[in-house]
A and B are shown apart, each in its own frame.
Chain A
Amino acid sequence: MTTPLIYTINGNMPIEDLEYSTTWEDNESYTKLIETYKYEGEVVRESVHILTRQNLNLGLVQGTM
């Protein structure tokens, strides 16, 4: 059976050798998911996914004559 590998700063490494953890940041501006893989305490891979909530309104304003 093939050993599942994942790409890291040290090249391809077996996923089973790595410590996987997730961190969430959630506020009115954005939601952020951080996926971290560590090998012997060192971060060897980290992915970040962000959902922005900052829907910018251009706010066109009509003046008066």
Chain B
Amino acid sequence: MANTQAVCTSFKTELLTGVHALGTSVTRGSSAADSFKAALYVATATVNASTTAYSATNEVSGTNYTAGGASFSWSAPASSGTTAYTTPSANISWTTVTLATSFDCVLLYNTTQSNKSVAVYTFGATTVTAGNFTLTMPTNDATTGLLRLA
């Protein structure tokens, strides 16, 4: 046997489940998973890697869209090979919604942890009129999972 340098795969999965606290600002009072939401933003917004938390500024508005967005849960983080991954456990959708101002991105954020942002996904300018808006999730695996630690 030989030793091999690597970031341990279990560490990647455990990061996604909040096991490791490399800093001193984390406090743990519960073993329950955090709660998350998905909020939509207009095409003129600036939501990107620098976004630290949810903001109502430039969020879409319209019939049957509730400010703050839609709640969702993550699939239990898992790993395959050296990649840890997770994906929202179901499609995220808004029903019979009217969003007349062009929007093109969704921000996933953690409502339990002061609305801290997780990731931003863009999908081209979109409007919805008295219809359904559905974000279909990809297959949750090490190749196509929505969030992966490689």
Contact = CB atoms under 8 A, between A and B. Distances in A.
Interface string B118-149: 01011110111111111111100001111111
A9 B130 contact: yes
A contact patch SS: strand
Interface size class of B (residues with CB under 8 A): 20 to 34
Given A9-B130, A32-B124, A62 B144 contact: no
Interface size class of A (residues with CB under 8 A): 20 to 34
B contact patch SS: strand
A3 interface: no
Interface in A29-65: 29-30, 32, 34-35, 43-60, 62
Nearest to B132: A47
Nearest to B135: A50
Interface string B59-96: 00000000000000000000000000000000000001
